[in-house]
């Protein structure tokens, strides 16, 4: 084989490689086209938007059980400073403007000795379960119309969970938490 012939073969091989590379590039583009992130048109699947499902004012968040599972007792203790003006928490602590709250979880409503409760709170009846505390602390005057606890409430569900987790440490750590689902 002379040089001329060798050059011809080499050129053909090179051209072949180039063609394969080009075809490969085109194939890659054809197989993996880039799509726009948003669909160009929305398909009505009949699904209801979450905002329509939730009540008018608030979007339903995680359940109390879920929030309590990751609640922060230390944060709850800090938030309790708002309550400390009216409530003591130590065992046998005095009543102030509000009753002592030691062991409040699962304690029957309005039963702490030596405190004069409103008729509204006594009439509410039952024990202070997790849900009761959560509802009461959201807005006391809504949960118990006529309560004499003049406190606006704790708006953020996470903060209420921290607070309730803290109340749970006051002698009632063994009360099983609501399911976290
Ligand atoms: C301005 C004073 C005041 C503040 C602040 C306050 N409370 Fe009260 N709390 C009261 C009074 C008064 C009552 C009794 C209500 C009644 O008899 O209707 C009460 C009752 C309660 C009860 C029911 C007790 C029982 O024995 O049935 C709980 C639970 C409670 N408070 C928790 C809290 C928590 C938690 C906070 C803070 C987020 C808080 N309170 C903030 C005054 C207060």
pLDDT tens track for 116-130? 999 999 999 999 999
Contact 164, 137 (CB under 8 A): yes
Count, residues in the chain? 181
Residue 132: what pLDDT? Answer: 98
Q: What is the mean pLDDT of residues 26-46?
A: 64
* pLDDT tens digits along 3-24: 778 778 778 878 877 777 777 7
Q: 76, 86, 137, 159: which to mutate for ligand 1, most atoms within 8 A of CB?
A: 86
Q: Give the predicted TM-score (pTM) of the model.
A: 0.74
**Beta carbon of 105 within 6 Å of any ligand 1 atom:** no
- What stretches of 32-156 show up as alpha helix (H) in DSSP? 50-53, 64-69, 73-79, 81-84, 119-124, 130-138, 140-143
pLDDT in tens, 85-115: 999 999 999 999 999 999 999 999 999 999 9
Query: In this model, does residue 46 exceed pLDDT 70?
Result: no
Residues 95, 87: Cα–Cα separation, whole Å? 7
Q: Is the CB of 97 under 6 A from ligand 1?
A: yes
Give me the domains of the chain, ranges plus CATH numbers. 64-168 (1.10.760.10)
Q: Tokens standing for 54?
A: 């939730």
CA dihedral sign of residues 57, 60, 55, 161: negative
Ligand 1 proximity of 27 Cβ (cutoff 6 Å) = no
Q: What is the distance in A from the centroid of ligand 1 to the CA of 3?
A: 102
Lowest-confidence region among 28-32, 82-86, 172-176: 28-32
Confidence of residue 47 (pLDDT cuts 50, 70, 90): low
Check whether 57 has a pLDDT greater than 70. no
Residue with tokens 């009753």: 99
99 in Cβ contact with 117 (< 8 Å): yes
Q: Is 100 in the pocket of ligand 1 (CB under 6 A)?
A: no
For ligand 1, the distance from its centroid to the CA atom of residue 98, given in whole angstroms, is 5
Q: Phi then psi for 67, rounded to 5 degrees?
A: -65, -40
**Two tokens, residue 113:** 């000795």
User: Would you say the CB of residue 82 lies under 6 angstroms from ligand 1?
Assistant: yes
Expressed in angstroms and rounded, the spacing between residue 162 Cα and the centre of ligand 1 is 17
Q: Look at residue 83 in the predicted model and tell me its pLDDT.
A: 98
């Amino acid at each position: 084989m002379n040089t001329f012939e060798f050059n011809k073969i080499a050129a053909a091989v090179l051209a072949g490689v180039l063609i394969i590379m080009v075809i490969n590039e085109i194939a890659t583009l054809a197989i993996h086209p880039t799509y726009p992130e948003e669909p160009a048109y929305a398909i009505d699947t009949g699904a209801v938007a979450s905002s329509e499902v939730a009540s008018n004012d608030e979007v339903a968040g995680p359940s109390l059980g879920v929030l309590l599972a990751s609640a922060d007792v230390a944060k709850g203790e800090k938030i309790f400073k708002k309550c400390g003006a009216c409530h003591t928490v130590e065992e046998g602590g005095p009543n102030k403007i509000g009753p002592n709250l030691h062991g409040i979880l699962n304690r029957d409503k309005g039963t702490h000795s030596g405190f004069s409760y409103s008729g509204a709170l006594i009439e509410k009846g039952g024990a202070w379960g997790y849900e009761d505390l959560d509802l009461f602390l959201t807005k006391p005057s809504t949960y118990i119309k006529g309560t004499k606890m003049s406190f606006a409430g704790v708006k953020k569900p996470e903060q209420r969970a921290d607070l309730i987790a803290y109340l749970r440490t006051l002698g009632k750590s063994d009360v099983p938490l609501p399911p976290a689902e």
